[in-house]
Amino acid sequence: MVRSGFDKLFWGFLFVMIDFRIQGFDIIPDVIGYILFAVGFHMLAVNSTFFKKAENFNYIMVIVSIFYIYEKPTPGGGVSGIHFDLLGILLGLVSLVIGLIVVYHLFMGIKDMASRQEKAEIYDEAGKRWTQYLMLQLAVVVLFLLIFIPPLAIVFIVVLLVVSIVITVSIMKFMRKCGNNLHDDHTMSTS
């Protein structure tokens, strides 16, 4: 059950962290990733209350991510055609905060399991992967501030793209590692 749950999280991260659009349509939709997360959290919930908390917040992300399947392309494309949509900004902020809460509880659930199973390496790596994920999300926020300095924004976008791919692959590999090294622990934590 644990391996299968982490497999769902593995694939969920692929959908959630990779954003590839063609004419405004996300061909790797986040909603599929959050549905996979929901299944994974449900399978892992017996092992830590953190997974149950992640599952509950994740339902919000399933709904919010539906709105991101299509985003109207920026007129003129790229940085030069900057436009603001207040509803889009609010939805983006809600998505950022709830998404961070979901992933935080995911990594805390892994730490909880690893601690009880005396898997110090996995415990430490869970903290490291959470920090990397958090820093990546903060870098995306910084990008929105840099958008007013187009040359700097373009360089930042390229760097962010490379870093995002590296972190995505690292997190996905870590989900596999968790699935291979952690086992069902039916003694629910009290966190």
Mean pLDDT of 124-144: 95
104 burial level (CB within 10 Å; 0-12, 13-18, 19+): middle
Tokens of 149: 């300095």
Mean pLDDT of 66-95: 72
For residue 71, give the DSSP letter. Answer: -
Q: Identify which of 38, 33, 89 has the alpha carbon closest to the alpha carbon of residue 66.
A: 33
pLDDT of residue 190: 44
Rounded to 5 degrees, what are φ and ψ at 107? -70, -30
Confidence at 179, pLDDT banded by 50, 70, 90: very high
